[in-house]
Chain A
Amino acid sequence: MGRKDGGQPLTVARIIVRRLVQALLVSLMVSTLSFVMMRALPGDAAMRVAAARYGHDLVTARAADAVRAELKLDRPVASALFAWWGDVLRLDLGTSAVTAAPVVDEVSHQLGYTIRLALAAMGIALLAGPLLGVLCGLWPGSAFDQTWRALAAAIRAVPPFILGLLLIIAFSVEMAALPAAGTMDSTSLVLPAITLAVGLTAGLIRVTRDALKSVTESGYFAFARTKGLSLSEALVRHGLRNAAAPVTAYVGVQLAFLIEGVVAVETLFAWPGIGHALVHAIYARDVPMIQGTVMAMAILFIGLSALADLAILAIDPRRR
């Protein structure tokens, strides 16, 4: 796989700069779309927010006008847009049109839940996936290998929502072993994390298997074996290091899938993270919350991608 920039060596600085630029771009993009949304959606957005803040019946025209100024709806489009951008970059994301609480507060609270879920899912996937993948890769073509690969492919095609449902029915309803939803139990994280991890695991199995297969079939590996190294020694010294690179690259690439899966999984399991909040905000047409949650998810995605980039850099000497 060639270098991403097409010719320039990757350094920590370059990675961080690239990700910061991405974060900036995505913030501008999302905030612009939200800005348009605020003006394009039917109904008086200012009235909505004011009604949430002061109560439907206590809201006055003056209060609505104050909110209108806050949302910059009273200014011409161009200057309003710049002011909007300014607010967003200063992390002033307004107040929710439903709870009247500052969006930043709500989102940071929900972000905690989502991060727990995402990290748990990644942890499960990074443990189970490469493990199974290594086993498949050591005996390519065997029944074990074929079954797992077919299973992985099939599971990838099932939407996370359905998968989660099946897991709830199996483990909560039938076996009463785990809670069906919510965050009350200490084991509440298990089912949502597994649901989110399954798709990732399926892909990791395949990637690890392919990577390991190419390692075991390579010249230097055969050479290491003829030198007298046992299978495990040869694996550890040559195989794992070389297989780690494409695996890490794959994880970096699949982060988008993870973030997207968060929306469905949090909705199903009533997990109060950003994905759950996003769906609610859409139903309520709560533009400040929509903006806040989408931006939070995008920034989370970029942050995790940056970590993945750094990990690749650490592992793969060819990149430097």
Chain B
Amino acid sequence: MPRTLLRISSTALLALLTVSCRQSALTTNASMAGELLVVGPWEIPSLDPLGSGSQFMRMQVTETLVDAASDGTVLPGLAAKWSTSPDGLEWKFELRQGVRFHDGSLLTAASALPSLKRALAEPGSLALAPIERLDASGNAIVVQLRQPFSPLPALFAHSSTQILAPSSFGPSGEVFSVVGTGPYRVVSIARPQSFIVAAFDGWRGGVPPIRHATYLSVSRAETRALMAESGQADLVFGLDPASLSRLRANPHVTVEAVSIPRTIALKVDSGKPCFQDVRTRRAISLAIDRPRIARAILRDPEMAATQLFPPTLAGWHNPRLAPLATDPALARKLLADAGWRKTSLGPLSLGGACSSMELLTFVDRPELPLLSAVIQEQLRQVGLHVEVNIGNAGDIPFGHRAGTLTMGLMARNYGITPDPLVTLVGDFGERGGDWGAMNWRSPEIESLFHALVRSNGADQSLPRSRVAEILQSELPVIPIAWYRQTVTVGTRVSGVSLDPFERSYRLTGIRWAGKTGDSR
């Protein structure tokens, strides 16, 4: 009897062990020497370019028609050149010849079209332009516009317009594999944590020094920092300011940083009674102590936002604007003027409501939860009670569309496409944007955008300055701090550079450093 039981138990245990080992066979194969490990906080729940597909573009698996240089000028990507008709309503993007997808098929206008048509459905991307239709004609993509739109090429640099081979799509249009044109091809994907890429032999740019790479998503900032510190990861993105200080002092790690046109800002629902009055929004802005935040939390005094556009957003940053100030006493006065009264419990309320407001933020960027705690306290000092809810990055767009969002702390990248105009139109135009204004309209800004979109080379500085002025005065989105993109680099590699538009990790430029390349 006991022997039988022992046999049963041990067989069961063995079965469990075999089942579990089989599952993880995929990822253990990848542990080869000479493989680059890139770690970031972003997960890959889906392969869809409209979803988290940007990670594949960053790992240079997919490419877009248009590329961007570090200074924002648009460069040819998969499109060798483009031209527009005299009336500005038709654009032609000539594709490069002889480019192959990872499955061997040729890149043609016809094979590129399905990807672009999908991107048209996404409001944050191609749909921002007044595109009437997309066609393939010869080896060119022809774009018909309803009205002239000068920033059009910049739109085709966005990750949602990445070109996938027709074999990537299933029968109902869903993406079930990522077959691109980039220097690296996908070897395996373990959703939502990681995927492995290998150099694609048929790439037009030759063979890059790094032959294999893995992207691993690690959600805890502490774990990412430890992976950088221990030298396990070669590139680590998304570290908090304290860990960065620690790593800067570490001889085995280099920290690269670049100022990018990303602003940490508070998005509020201007449609809710709580924030309808511009005085309330100004009061909130006055309550926030940006210089101290930049110094003590971000450890970078230059990052204290004086306006929405950072200095790196040349042309839009308005140096003549009076900087956003800190004045809690004035904030209290403005709140009182706007009708906020003290309740018996302590916090102020507006007409009986708004005595507790919800602030949504997410952990993907570790600065955000930190700043949300500081903002919560600084607002408490002027009498406003805020409850912080930390969730997913998707909660804010969701809340925007459902109308349930009250306040959201985000880090908006105004440099998603090389021309910020497109992003701004999406954020502050008619319908507001997921990461822009909510239930706020300014007819003047809309006409300014209108003019800017049509202008072609004419002097744009006046309208742009005016846009900055309006946003500074109206504060539909309250700026908190500017941003420096950072990456920690291990000793195994060199040649790492940061893309200020966060479109690519520039793996092709990275080399193994000296003799230590193949050992771990």
> Which A positions have Cβ atoms within 8 angstroms of B?
12, 42-44, 47-48, 51-52, 55-58, 98-101, 108-109, 111-116, 119, 165, 168-169, 172-173, 176, 179-186, 267-270, 272, 280, 283-285, 307, 310-311, 313-315, 320
Contact = CB atoms under 8 A, between A and B. Distances in A.
A268 B226 CA distance: 10
5 contacts: A98-B192, A99-B191, A116-B17, A116-B24, A165-B222
Interface residues of B, number: 59
Contacts of A57: 50, 121-123
A256 to B, nearest CB: 18
Contacts of A112: 19-24
Given A42-B404, A181-B218, A272-B190, 11 more contacts: A47-B402, A109-B23, A114-B20, A116-B20, A180-B227, A182-B218, A184-B31, A185-B520, A269-B223, A272-B193, A283-B392
Contacts of B114: none
B277 interface: no
A55 B222 contact: no
B223 A173 contact: no
Contacts of B50: 55-57
Contact of A169 (B226, B394, B398): B226
Contacts of B194: 182
Given A101-B191, A119-B17, A270 B216 contact: yes
Interface of B: 1-2, 5-6, 8-9, 12-13, 16-17, 19-24, 27-28, 30-31, 37, 43, 45-46, 48, 50-51, 121-123, 190-194, 214, 216, 218-220, 222-223, 226-227, 229-232, 363, 390-392, 394, 397-398, 401-402, 404, 520
Contacts of A285: 391-392
A167 to B, nearest CB: 10
Contacts of B223: 180-181, 268-270
Given A269-B223, A272-B190, A12 B230 contact: no
Contact of A55 (B23, B48, B227, B390): B48
Contacts of A311: 5-6, 9
B230 A168 contact: yes
A280 B219 contact: yes
B392 A270 contact: no
Contact of B229 (A44, A173, A183, A269): A173
Contacts of B19: 112, 115
Given A112-B21, A112-B24, A269-B223, A119 B229 contact: no
Contacts of B394: 284
B451 to A, nearest CB: 28
B230 A184 contact: no
B118 to A, nearest CB: 9
Q: Residue among A176, A270, A283, A311 with the most chain B CB within 10 A?
A: A270
A113 B23 CA distance: 8
A268 B223 CA distance: 6
A307 B6 CA distance: 10
